[in-house]
Amino acid sequence: MKRIIFLCIIILSSIAGYAQSGNDIQIRGADLSSAPQIEDAGGQFKDSSKVKDVLEIFKEYGANYVRLRLWYAPAGGYCGLTKTLAFAKRIKAKGLKLLLDFHYSDTWADPGHQTKPAAWANLPYNILEDSVYQYTKDVITAFKDQGTLPDMVQIGNEITNGMLWPDGRNSGSANAWTNFADLVKAGIKGVKDAADTSQVKIMIHIDKGGSNSTSRWFFDNLISQGVDFDVIGLSYYPWWHGTFSQLQSNLNDLATRYNKDIVIAETAYPWTTLNKNDGYPNVSYDPSKLPAGYPVTVQGQRDFMTYLEEIIKNTTNHKCIGFFYWEPAYISVPPIGSPWENYTLFDFDGNTMNSMNVYRSQNTDTLPTVNVTVRLNTATMGDTINSKSILQLRGQVQGVSSGFLPSGEKIAWDQTSQVILKNAGGDYWEYTFKMYPADQLQFLFWSGFSLTKPTFRNLGWESTVTPYDSSGSSYRVFTAGLKDTTLELEYYNTYESKLPQYRTPIEPKQDSIGILFRVNVAKLMQSGLFDTTKNGPIAVRGDSANSAGVLSWYSDKLILNKESKSVGGGTFWSGVAYFPADKITAGTPVSYKFYVENSQFGGIEPGIGSRTFNFPGEDTTLSWKFFNDGISITGIKNYKDYAPDKFYLYQNYPNPFNPATAISYQLSAFSHVTLKVYDVLGREIETIVNEEKPAGFYRVYFDGSKLASGIYFYRIEAVPIGRQAGDFIQTRKMLLIK
């Protein structure tokens, strides 16, 4: 244990020695406007279960800017001048910068609400314009007098449609834009006259971060009115404002068109579909408009922000300089509650989550990386995958990388993962990517005939494994060191039981080289030429001289075993032969064929010439073959039409789960299927399936987001059409952990 701890210290120390400079994000901000009210109501913020000052938490994670909204005369005083001034003192005392967001309202201002303060409701336009100037000047003077001058000031909040309606609405009349622009100019003049410094940047903030047409329309018109400002602010919530691609295109165009700094002034992403039942319905979103591959989980939230940071960094001329996460500390606390608790970076108990790491400075230009090569052998896969199929590494990285590897690939637990292995010959697959030292990769393999068509067993997923570190998890684990690494060869787990991560079907033997032979007899079975009750076993016959007597053309020295976990109820047969390494020179050609005992056609593969392999220098597997290499002995059906040989209900995956899990099953006959979920008291929770289905493999999803943590059971009953009772009834247990 001491050795492992010492190694981690070396790795982390090495990383710490690299400077954080270059193409990094300048602003990593948080809108913490509600924090004072939450604290006054008794709310606590915790990191590693330890109660801390909310500002200290954000600073320790790497935030460098705080955004505060300012209302004119709010009910209760929160977000008013007095309380905002008090919070500004704490912010500046922590060495954090401040963005002051003038709403010019007594309450929320946004594209659909720009209500004038009650005190200004009936003012003539010229008096209103002067009031904007004087109020803004007085506020900035107050901040300056207490030594907390803002570093940046927003004139209005999401003013796409103007502000201070109806006088400042930028549509509906000939002079609408002129009136609106004059009010904006009045606010800007108030800032500059009070601050008496060029160090205070002026931001103009609109929504529609993914709409280039709206952004151009707004800023073209505003600039044509002579409004002088420094920073373009955009809101970006994907369910309201478009795709990542639309955002990136808009940022690049604005950067070129206006040559001004750009900031994502508001953004957020949900981490759960649940709420705390605090009496406040959470702000909703359209699930269909969430970006694919970014689930509503803590990891999905972090991955969303990680990719958003990459978009910011890659904006043309580096003109996008940062972001503000909107209200990441807006947790629920009685009596005020929160409609935003499922978008925060704290859980329902006020503890920081993994997604808080989005504030850590991650300059990929300066951090060291190592090359990691993953090697997989599919000789243990009970399916017909070939070199043109898909072998995908699905998982996650704990550490600096999060959802994206430093070599650029997205890594996820679903089909959006971009780590797709390449066939390296036969059963061997490889892929090389980059990792940061000390990051941990957690993963399993997924196989498919394409990204949308999984292999039959467990619908593409390999079964769980016991990681090399015996940590108790059910996935493969690798922790990057300081040097390039090629992982020890791993074998696909097609069995239902957990197997060791680095197990091998070839037992290492001194002075011997083991070779695994594998053949698929599905086409023989389909043509009626192979029946396990009448024919077999299957053997390998071959060249005795070049194999040092391990094989023979005249007798069965290597008999293969039927694989019970292969498709079609055991269409694959395999076995390992051990050759004396000191009697065969590496590269020696060895000829062989597969042979069926008790056959109707003579046993030996009749339609092909001898198979040959060159004797290797180490243990290996030979790529699986169809018996007779696919050449029909008599009428043979296409293998893809081969149906499952039995009914079966698979263990759900993932398990434990939160909040959703996949349940897979297979049918060997056309049947009426019911699949139901029950709690531990036997009460029915949900009917997932209740319909007739043909023979085949199926996968459904169960959403437990509205359920409490605990043990649940799922039960399947399949009644073949024409029968009265279920031939197949099976129940499995699953665990929901929140």
The three-point CA angle 268-270-276 to 5° equals 120
Dihedral sign computed on CA atoms, order 507, 508, 510, 511: positive
| Of residues 647, 618, 654, the one with CA closest to residue 730 | 647
The three-point CA angle 319-324-329 to 5° equals 170
Q: How many CB atoms lie within 10 A of CB 503?
A: 12
Number of alpha carbons in the 13 Å side-chain half-sphere of residue 292: 6
Domain 370-500: homologous superfamily in CATH: Immunoglobulins (2.60.40.10)
Instruction: Give me the residues paired with residue 392 across strands.
Output: 420, 446
Please confirm, yes or no, whether 158 is among the known catalytic residues. yes
Do 429 and 375 touch, CB atoms closer than 8 A? yes
- Angstrom distance (rounded) from CA 111 to CA 113: 6
- Write down the catalytic residue from 158, 309, 490, 717: 158
- Angstrom distance (rounded) from CA 191 to CA 199: 11
Q: What would you measure as the largest C-alpha separation in the chain, in angstroms?
A: 108
Q: What is the pLDDT of residue 738?
A: 83
Q: pLDDT, tens digit, for every residue of 203-262? A: 999 999 999 999 999 999 999 999 999 999 999 999 999 999 999 999 999 999 999 999
What residues does CATH 2.60.40.2550 cover in the chain? 643-736
Q: For residue 93, what are its two tokens?
A: 């005392």
- Angstrom distance (rounded) from CA 495 to CA 542: 30
Q: What is the pLDDT of residue 660?
A: 86
DSSP letters, 34-77, are: THHHHHHTT--EEETTEEE-HHHHHHHHT--EEEEEE-SS-TTS
DSSP letters, 550-567, are: S--SSS-SEE-EE-TTSH
- Write down the catalytic residue from 39, 56, 266, 563: 266
| Of residues 62, 55, 65, the one with CA closest to residue 30 | 65
| Of residues 567, 457, 450, the one with CA closest to residue 520 | 567
Q: What is the pLDDT of residue 294?
A: 85
Q: pLDDT, tens digit, for every residue of 538-565? A: 999 999 989 999 999 989 999 999 998 8
Q: Residues 667-670: contacts with CB within 8 Å, 24+ apart? A: 667/693, 667/694, 667/695, 667/696, 667/698, 667/718, 668/643, 668/644, 668/695, 669/695, 669/720, 669/721, 670/694, 670/695, 670/720, 670/721
Q: What is the pLDDT of residue 6?
A: 37
pTM listed for this prediction: 0.68
Please give the CATH topology (third level) of the domain spanning 512-640: Immunoglobulin-like (2.60.40)
Q: pLDDT, tens digit, for every residue of 633-647? A: 753 333 333 456 678
* Residues ≥6 apart with Cβ < 8 Å to 152: 97, 98, 99, 100, 200, 201, 202, 203, 231
| CA 293 and chain centroid, separation | 5
Q: Using the structure block, give the residue that is written with the tokens 């606010």.
A: 187
Residues of the chain scoring pLDDT < 50: 1-22, 635-642
Do 435 and 398 touch, CB atoms closer than 8 A? no
Please confirm, yes or no, whether 490 is among the known catalytic residues. no
Q: Select 27-359's CATH number: 3.40.50.300, 3.40.50.620, 3.40.50.150, 3.20.20.80.
A: 3.20.20.80
- Angstrom distance (rounded) from CA 29 to CA 323: 6
Q: Select 643-736's CATH number: 3.30.1490.20, 2.60.40.2550, 2.40.50.140, 3.10.580.10.
A: 2.60.40.2550
Cα–Cα distances in angstroms (integers) from residue 31 to residues 65, 79, 103, 205, 444, in the given order: 9, 12, 14, 14, 38
Report the C-alpha dihedral over residues 622, 626, 627, 633, rounded to 10 degrees. Answer: -160
Q: What is the pLDDT of residue 531?
A: 87
Q: For residue 583, what are its two tokens?
A: 């009697």
Q: What is the pLDDT of residue 726?
A: 63
- Angstrom distance (rounded) from CA 30 to CA 266: 9
Instruction: Give me the residues paired with residue 715 across strands.
Output: 676, 731
Q: What is the pLDDT of residue 379?
A: 95
What residues does CATH 3.20.20.80 cover in the chain? 27-359
